[in-house]
Amino acid sequence: MLPHGLAGRALTATVCCVVTQEPFEPVMDVLRALAEPTRLRLVWALAGREHSVGELAELVGAHVAAVSQHLAKLREAGMVAARRDGTRIFYRVATPYLADLLDQLVVVGGHVSGDLDLPRPSTPSPSAVVRRAATSRARQVRTRPRAVEA
């Protein structure tokens, strides 16, 4: 959604508006949280399914204590949620839109790096590219080894 009720309007160079920082603050909070590489990888793993802290530590190759600190920051940002099962805590993404955002980031990252050949506007829409990226991401998440906690 665009700030200032601009969604659905065609914006051209002739449109002049003041772009204030306020409507972008929540967006910047999300980007700041994802800008740390370990947190981005944690959210990527959680977009597929929920995981315990130990599983996440193994998936991202970090110490459990460090993963716990990153998860606390992601919880504060409202990006992950947790549930307790006995002595273990399981984390999941707090909104399904986060997985969609990650899919879009894969497309944009692939485009700017030149690793992803995006279709021309007259060919299938970018949403088809997003679906392919999402399918690829889902396959990667499913093929990751499951961690066993002691």
Q: For the segment 121-143, what is each residue's pLDDT rounded down to a tens digit?
A: 454 555 666 566 656 655 554 44
**Which DSSP category does 144 fall into?**
S
In a domain, 12, yes or no: no
Q: Is residue 102 part of a domain?
A: yes
Residue 133 to residue 105: CA distance in whole angstroms: 10
The domain in which residue 138 lies consists of: 96-144
Longest dimension (CA), the chain: 62
pLDDT at 127: 60
CA distances, 19 to each of 1, 4, 24 (Å)? 15, 9, 9
- At residue 79, what is the residue type? M
Report whether pLDDT(25) > 70: yes
Query: How many domains are contained in the chain?
Result: 2
**What pTM did the predictor assign?**
0.66
C-alpha span between 34 and 106 (Å, rounded): 13
In sequence order, which residues have a C-beta less than 8 Å from that of residue 23 and are 6 or more positions away? 3, 4
| Residues 86 and 101 both lie in one domain | no
Asked if residue 15 belongs to a domain, the reply is no
Same domain, 131 and 83: no
Query: Hey, which bits of the chain come out as E strands?
Result: 51-52, 80-85, 88-93
Per-residue pLDDT tens over the stretch 3-14: 444 444 444 444
Would 16 be classed as within a structural domain?
A: no
